[in-house]
Amino acid sequence: MRKTLNFLMMMAMVAISFAQNKGIDSKRPNIVFIMSDDHAYQAISAYGHKLNNTPNIDRIAKNGAIFSNSFVTNSICAPSRAAMLTGKHSFVNGKVDNVQEFNWSQETFPKLLQQNGYQTALIGKIHLDGLPQGFDYSAVLPGQGHYYNPDFIINGEKQQLAGYVTEITTELTLEWLANRDQDKPFCVLYHQKAPHREWLPAKKYYSEYTKMKFKEPVSLFDDYSNRGTAAKKAEMNILHHMNWAGDSKIYPEVMEQLGITETSNWGIKALKNNLGRMDAAQRASWDSIYGPINEHFKTIYPTMSPEELMHWRYQRYMQDYLGSIASVDEGVGQVLDFLKENGLDENTIVVYTSDQGFYLGEHGWFDKRFMYEESLRTPLLISYPKEIKPGTDIDGMVQNIDYAPTLLEYAGVKIPKKMQGESFRKLLNNEKTEWRDAIYYTYYEYPSIHMVKRHYGVRTDRYKLIHFYYDIDEWELYDLESDPNELRNVYNDPGYAKIRDMMHRRVKEMRKKYGDSDKNDQRFLKEYLEKINK
Ligand code: SGN
Ligand code: CA
C-alpha cells in the first residue's frame, strides 16, 4: 500500500513538473526567422522606396518594428549566414568568404535553442557545406540551389522536388509547422533562395512584372570619378558585366543573330541550365512571355545607343528581380496567416532579413560585396506582439551578429560571452540603453567574380572610412550627410583632415575591440590564394 502511495505521489510530482515545464515552454516565444538571399531594402515597400509592393513583409513592420540602420558584417552570402548563426565576425568564426569551409561544430544560436528545449528546423538556402548541425529537421538547397524543380537535401538525403523553389520552401515550412511537436517552443529558419541571381520569377508573376516599368536610381550612369580604384575596377555594371543569356534572358540564337557575344563564359550555360530544368509545360509558359521579349529586342537592338541599352537592361533586371520577390512576399503572407490561424501569432517572434543588401542599379551596379551603403545595409523587420509595440521605428545601428544574442535573450537562454554581437531587445522596447555608435566591416573574396577588392572599414552615423588592400592600398572617406550616394571620396580633402584622423582612430579601436588585425588579413589571403589556385 505504502509503495503504491509512494509511486502515485511520485507520478503526481512528475505530472506537476511536466505541466510546469509545459507552462514555461508555452511562455517561451517561438521564432520564425525569415531570410531571403540578396533582398535589397530598396525592394521592400515598408522602407518607402516606392519601387514595388511587398504587403506581407510590410505586415511585420506594421505589427512590430522596422530598422532603418541595419547592417551586415561582410556583404556576401555564406559569411553572412555564418555571422548570424554564430554571432561573431567573419575573422572570428572563420567563414570569411564563399570559398572557405564553415565549421559547423561551432556554437550557434539554433544549437543553443535546441539544447534548451526548442524544436528547430532549417528550410531553404543556407549555402554552408556539410550537414547542418543544431536542427531537428533540415531541408536545404545544395549550394546556390535552383529556381525550377530544385534539388533539396532533406535530413541529409538528396531529392528533386517538382515546382518553383520559393513556393516549395514555403510549403515545406508550413508542413513542418503543422506537424511539429506542440509541447515545445520552436525556432524555424525559413530561408528563401530568391531573389538571388539569375532571378527567375514564378509563372504567376513574370507575365505581370515583365510589363512593368521601374524608377531608375540617380547614379545609374555613375562614371566612378572622384573615388579610388576599387569602384572603377569592380565588374558588376549592368551594361557591361551582366550576362545576356543568363541574366537578361536573351536566347542564345537571338544573340547570335544580333552578333552579341556573351559577357562571361558561363552566361549561356546558365540560361540553358535554368531553362533545362523546366518541364514541357513550365518551358512553354516561359517561352510564351520571354519569346516575345526576345522578338521585340531583335527589332530595337540594332539602333540602340549604349545609354538606351542601359535603360533597357536595367528594366529587364528589375522585372525579373522584383518578380522573384513577389513570390517571397506571398510566402511570408502564408506563414503569417498560419501563425494567426493557429493562435501562434502573439507568442511568436517573426524576423525578416536578407543575407545582405544589393545594388538595384545604384552606381550602375548589380551584386553586393562593397561597404558602400546599398550592400552594407540589409533589411530588418521584427514583430513580437507580446513585447514590441506596433509601428516601432528603430534607428540604432545594428548588425547581423546581433541576431543570435537577441533571439537567445528572448528565449531565456544565456548568451555566450564569446558572442560579439549584442542583444538589441532594449532598442526594440524603446528602453534607454547605451548603444554602439559605430560598426565594423570586413570583405575578403578577391580576386573573384565581380572583382571587388579586399577591404575593411568603420561606419558611424555620419562618416565612413574604408581601406582597400592587397593589390592596392587606398583609403576612402565619405560624408554620408552631404553625400548620401557616396559619389565623392573626401579622404584627401583638407577640410576633412580632422574627421579623417578621428575615423582612423575609430577603425583602430574597432579592430582591437573585435580582435582583427593585418595578421588576420594576411592569413585569410594566404588561405584563399592556396584554395583558389589548387
Ligand atoms: C554567383 C553569382 C554571382 C554572385 C555569387 C555569390 N553568379 O556566382 O553574381 O555574386 O554567386 O552570391 S551566377 O551567375 O552564378 O548567379 S552569393 O549570394 O552566393 O554570395
Ligand atoms: Ca546573398
- In tens, the pLDDT along 297-328 reads 999 999 999 999 999 999 999 999 999 999 99
Q: Is residue 216 part of a domain?
A: no
Q: Is residue 211 part of a domain?
A: no
Shared domain for 308 and 354, answered yes or no, is no
Average pLDDT, the chain: 95
Ligand 1 neighbourhood includes 363 CB (under 6 angstroms): no
Q: Is residue 406 part of a domain?
A: yes
Nearest CA to ligand 1 atom 18: 77
Lowest mean pLDDT across 5-19, 56-70, 280-294, 334-348:
5-19
Q: Is residue 93 part of a domain?
A: yes
For position 433, what pLDDT does the model report? 84
Q: What is the pLDDT averaged over residues 32-58?
A: 98
Instruction: Look up the CATH number of the domain holding residue 513.
Output: 3.30.1120.10
Shared domain for 81 and 172, answered yes or no, is yes
Shared domain for 356 and 491, answered yes or no, is no
The rounded Cα 49 to chain-centroid distance in angstroms is 18
State yes or no: pLDDT of 16 exceeds 60. no
Nearest CA to ligand 1 atom 20: 77
| Ligand 1 centre distance from Cα of residue 371 (Å) | 17
Ligand 1 neighbourhood includes 81 CB (under 6 angstroms): no
CA separation for the pair 294, 248 (Å, rounded): 10
pLDDT band at 431 (very low <50, low <70, confident <90, very high): very high
The percent of residues above 70 in pLDDT, for the chain, comes to 95
Q: Which of 396, 431, 466 is the last residue of a domain?
A: 431
Atom of ligand 1 nearest to the CA of 266: 14
pLDDT tens per residue, range 350-360:
999 999 999 99
CA separation for the pair 414, 358 (Å, rounded): 34
DSSP string, 448-476: STT-PPPEEEEEESSEEEEEE-SS--EEE
For position 10, what pLDDT does the model report? 52
Q: Which of 254, 283, 318 is the last residue of a domain?
A: 318
> What is the tally of structural domains in the chain?
3
Q: What is the pLDDT averaged over residues 101-105?
A: 96
Nearest CA to ligand 1 atom 17: 77
Shared domain for 343 and 361, answered yes or no, is yes
Shared domain for 69 and 195, answered yes or no, is yes
Q: Which of 197, 198, 354 to mutate to test the pocket of ligand 1 (most atoms within 8 A of CB)?
A: 197
State yes or no: pLDDT of 388 exceeds 90. yes
Shared domain for 332 and 186, answered yes or no, is yes
Shared domain for 400 and 454, answered yes or no, is no
Q: Is residue 333 part of a domain?
A: yes
Residue ranges of alpha helices (H) inside 106-159 are 109-115
For position 210, what pLDDT does the model report? 98
| Ligand 2 centre distance from Cα of residue 36 (Å) | 8
**Ligand nearest 39 Cα, by number?**
2
| Ligand 2 centre distance from Cα of residue 54 (Å) | 19
Shared domain for 298 and 345, answered yes or no, is no
Q: Which of 36, 444, 449, 452 to mutate to test the pocket of ligand 1 (most atoms within 8 A of CB)?
A: 449
Domain containing 252 equals: 234-318
pLDDT tens per residue, range 126-161:
999 889 999 999 999 999 999 999 999 999 999 999
Ligand 1 neighbourhood includes 320 CB (under 6 angstroms): no
Omega before residue 198 within 30° of 0, cis: yes
Nearest CA to ligand 1 atom 19: 77
For position 6, what pLDDT does the model report? 53
Residues 6+ apart with CB under 8 A from 246: 197, 198, 266, 267, 268, 269, 270, 271, 274
For position 240, what pLDDT does the model report? 98
Shared domain for 248 and 328, answered yes or no, is no
Where is 306: in which H helix or E strand? helix 306-341
Q: Is residue 522 part of a domain?
A: yes
Ligand 1 neighbourhood includes 185 CB (under 6 angstroms): no
Q: Is residue 23 part of a domain?
A: no
Nearest CA to ligand 1 atom 13: 197
State yes or no: pLDDT of 478 exceeds 60. yes
Instruction: Look up the CATH number of the domain holding residue 352.
Output: 3.40.720.10
Q: What is the reported pTM?
A: 0.95
C-alpha cell of 337? 496567416
User: 362 with 485: CB under 8 angstroms?
Assistant: yes
Ligand 1 neighbourhood includes 449 CB (under 6 angstroms): yes
Ligand 1 neighbourhood includes 38 CB (under 6 angstroms): yes
Shared domain for 271 and 407, answered yes or no, is no
pLDDT band at 432 (very low <50, low <70, confident <90, very high): confident
Q: Is residue 281 part of a domain?
A: yes
Lowest mean pLDDT across 1-5, 78-82, 416-420:
1-5
Q: What is the pLDDT averaged over residues 90-96?
A: 98
Q: Which of 371, 400, 431 is the last residue of a domain?
A: 431
Shared domain for 151 and 269, answered yes or no, is no
Shared domain for 195 and 343, answered yes or no, is yes
CA separation for the pair 40, 446 (Å, rounded): 22
| Ligand 1 centre distance from Cα of residue 236 (Å) | 11
Q: What is the pLDDT averaged over residues 504-525?
A: 98
State yes or no: pLDDT of 101 exceeds 70. yes
Ligand 1 neighbourhood includes 198 CB (under 6 angstroms): yes
